[in-house]
Structure 1
Amino acid sequence: MATQQYGYRGEYSYSYDDQDLRGSGPAPRRGLGRLPAGLRAPVEGRTWRELGYVLLSLPISIVGFTWAVTMVSLGAGLLVTFIGVPVLAAALAGARGLGSLERVRARGLLGVEVGSPEPVRPRKNGPMGWMGAVLKSGVSWRSLLYGVLHMPWAVFAFSVGLTFWATGWSLLTYPLWRWVFPMYAGQGGIQLYGDEHHSVYLDNPFEITVTALVGLAITLATPWVLRALTTVDRLAVVGLLGPSRLQSRVVELESDRGVVVDTAAADLRRIERDLHDGAQARLVGLAMDLGLAKEKLAEDPDAAARMVADAHGEVKTALQELRDLARGIHPAVLTDRGLDAALSSV
């Protein structure tokens, strides 16, 4: 560690171990996939995407916050006139557009699959109907709230994320760029402390090594800091910009209703096919056999009796098929044991 001494005339001198570290770069990384997850995290694509999301959040949130506050304030001030209503509607429409952009950004950089909320559906045609639908839409107001609340969080996340990332990599690579200080700044390294009498620099091998190790620790911690910061963003996007629980439930019920309708239609087609190919065909054949037996009753009673006996067997078979078909429509367990047992057997 070098100590810089000042004289009464302002003259000073310092000493340091001048090591040329410019050519000693790190060994090329090989087989990163074999490293533990904690060591791979700083160079993984997910970390860089989350860092990009945090850095982009600041300018986007400033635009959204400025739009929301300016337009809402202007619209509220003009509510005494009719002009305030379209201004508020425009503010909400702009907030919805920003929400769409944020959903795309979260999907691309954070991997968050957020469904699109319910679109604006005016009940009446014309500008008045559209403005009324926008003003009554809960999605619009939630998007506006997101634009207001996201800006302070984006400032905090930007500051913390960028500080950790820049500090970690700067200290980790300090042995590679320390030569800049003695060559261009006239000092041995990073100044830790300085006053009128002396200054402390990080310039000997031990201090340089410790500095790099501290940078390594911060660099390894940075991905998890970014994970924590973007977790809040994920929750905000899903909670404020995604579909509401009621809308999700409605979509689920509509999907279930479609499945039930399709199942019922398939059952009706099956019943129609079974009746046409089974019992109906058998009853038609039975009618023809009875007609032939009637014609032969006077001429050949024995043959007519045999035909009637065969028809009797066909009747029993047709009745059994109808019972089987009815059992498929109305399960026997429903009659025997009630609704609970019937539902349990499904």
Structure 2
Amino acid sequence: MSTAIPVRHRPWWLVAVRAPVARRSMRELGYVASGLPLACIGFSYAFCALLFGSVLLVTFIGLPVLAVGLAGCRALGHLERGRARALLGLEVAEPEPVRTLRRSSGAMSWISALLRSGVSWRHLLYTLLHLPWSVFSCMAGLSAWVVGWAMLTFPLWEWFFPAYVDHPALQVGDGITIASPRQEGSRVLDGGAELAVIAACGLVVVLLAPWLVRGLVQVDKLLVGGLLGPSSLAARVTELETDRGVVVDTAAADLRRIERDLHDGAQARLVSLAMGLGMAKEKLDEDPRAAAAVVEEAHGEVKLALQELRDLARGIHPAILTDRGLGPALSALAARCTVPVAVTVELPGRPAAAIEGIAYFTVSELLQNISKHSAARRATVEIWRNEERLLIQVVDDGKGGASVEGGSGLAGLADRLGAVDGLLVVDSPAGGPTTVTAELPWR
């Protein structure tokens, strides 16, 4: 039983031969062909709205006409995004909606919001630019397809025209014409060599036509993505809102962790200490030895509670990081790791305090993962500065298989780095080694 060859493994010549009948080529040709009538409708609507709205600005109805025109252009843009999604597989996010002022409502507020919206004017610009480009792309793309297939099937005409059209053949005079009887100064294309050459040229055009259309479609993708999608500022605002949510969720999780550690650790020990000291107070007069033993036990509890509080404080922000910087702090962190770790820090100075803290806790979490999951024998930590970026690379020789997918700890770490315009890249093939590279802004 034969199996289909995966697209990524097909040789280039097979891709070229299949291109004229490939589904993608048909969809792209359909996109180019369907774009011209829609472009005519959109251009006519936008031009008339812009013309009449501009002329009528001297009256009170000019602004409403412009607003209605912009609203219609936004509707046409929604249709164009859907057409690009259906035929080209191009996913363009919906732009930001029209936002009216909070303290105003009604028709005038809607009109004002439409006229102030940069998205609306970009949709208008798209409808005006789409027509000339659609005329060019449709004529070039369809002409290449029609001419190519016409030349490729040219030998069939030698049979078709004499049998069904009552003409002897095609003749070349002032262009290619169907003529009967033969015209003076023209030559009948009926030789086998001539038909073969024309068919061969047609085959070349047929094979090149899909790539011509694909190139034309790339311009359409740029127009749709650049003018009908959200603006870069709006996309940045959305990204910052998402990052802010990640930061808030991370801070809330850290607070819950600290509360849980205090409740289950130091607080429980202090409660036990208070109870022990109360018992010692009661036995002090009756049984001094028993009271002394209770006090001794309470002293041990105090030491353990202090150690837990120190560990908790180190988990919040280690004092050595504040006092001496990343190099000594990471060396102390590596000394507590169950795997031998070599630390190399080459920094010309100290980054911003917040970035320094994120870098420390990033290395801390990565070393914890190495201790718990990697089965590694050794690891290295390297930190250096590249222009305005702080780079961290942690390598271990463990079993590999680490991934940022599936809600793992690395996924949460990647989200926290992304909240400050950072980046996390994991290279961990099965069998190892694992290389995790983190990138943070210097300031």
Q: Which residue of 1 aligns with 2:297?
A: 310
Q: Which residue of 1 aligns with 2:440?
A: none
Distance 2:290 2:171 in 1: 122
Q: Greater helix percent: which structure? A: 1
- Say if 2:16 is the partner of 1:38: yes
Q: Which residue of 2 aligns with 1:147?
A: 127
Q: 1:72 aligns with which of 32, 50, 53?
A: 50
Q: How much has 1:112 moved relative to structure 2?
A: 1.4
**SS of the counterpart of 2:187?**
strand
Q: How much has 1:171 moved relative to structure 2?
A: 1.6
Q: 2:136 aligns with which of 149, 156, 163?
A: 156
Distance 1:122 1:154 in 2: 34
Q: Which residue of 2 aligns with 1:111?
A: 89
Q: How much has 1:201 moved relative to structure 2?
A: 2.4
TM-score of the pair, normalised by structure 1 = 0.87
Residue 317 of structure 2 contacts residue 357 of structure 2 at CA under 8 Å; is this kept in 1?
Answer: no
Q: 2:110 aligns with which of 115, 125, 130?
A: 130
**SS of the counterpart of 2:100?**
coil
Distance 1:187 1:211 in 2: 20
Distance 1:228 1:115 in 2: 23
Q: Which residue of 1 aligns with 2:321?
A: 334
Q: How much has 1:89 moved relative to structure 2?
A: 0.2
Change in 2 beyond 3 A, CA 1:245/1:81: same
Letter in 1 for 2:208: A
Distance 2:310 2:253 in 1: 20
Q: How much has 1:138 moved relative to structure 2?
A: 0.2
Q: How much has 1:177 moved relative to structure 2?
A: 4.1
**SS of the counterpart of 2:186?**
strand
Q: How much has 1:186 moved relative to structure 2?
A: 4.2
Distance 2:144 2:320 in 1: 67
Letter in 2 for 1:44: A
Q: 1:182 aligns with which of 162, 168, 184?
A: 162
Change in 2 beyond 3 A, CA 1:229/1:277: same
- CA shift digits 1:85-112 (9 cap, x unpaired): 1100000000001111111111111121
Q: Which residue of 2 aligns with 1:9?
A: none
Distance 2:28 2:324 in 1: 58
Distance 2:110 2:118 in 1: 14
- CA shift digits 1:213-235 (9 cap, x unpaired): 11110000001100111011011
Distance 1:31 1:261 in 2: 49
- Say if 2:244 is the partner of 1:264: no
Letter in 1 for 2:127: G
Q: 2:31 aligns with which of 50, 53, 56?
A: 53
Q: Which residue of 2 aligns with 1:206?
A: 193
- CA shift digits 1:24-73 (9 cap, x unpaired): xxxxxx98986611111111111000000000110000000000111111
Q: Greater strand percent: which structure? A: 2
Distance 2:293 2:273 in 1: 13
Q: How much has 1:196 moved relative to structure 2?
A: 5.3
RMSD of aligned Cα (Å) = 1.9
Q: Which residue of 2 aligns with 1:20?
A: none
- Say if 2:331 is the partner of 1:344: no
Q: How much has 1:198 moved relative to structure 2?
A: 3.2
**SS of the counterpart of 2:57?**
coil
**% identity of equivalent residues:** 59
Residue 67 of structure 1 contacts residue 91 of structure 1 at CA under 8 Å; is this kept in 2?
Answer: yes
Distance 2:47 2:217 in 1: 24
Q: What are structure 1's unaligned runs of at least 5 residues?
A: 1-29
Q: 1:63 aligns with which of 36, 41, 57?
A: 41
Residue 188 of structure 1 contacts residue 203 of structure 1 at CA under 8 Å; is this kept in 2?
Answer: no
Report which of the two structures shows the higher radius of gyration computed on alpha carbons.
Answer: 1
Change in 2 beyond 3 A, CA 1:188/1:205: farther
Distance 1:73 1:198 in 2: 53
Distance 2:189 2:148 in 1: 16
Residues paired across the two proteins, number: 317
- CA shift digits 1:228-256 (9 cap, x unpaired): 11011011111111111111111111111
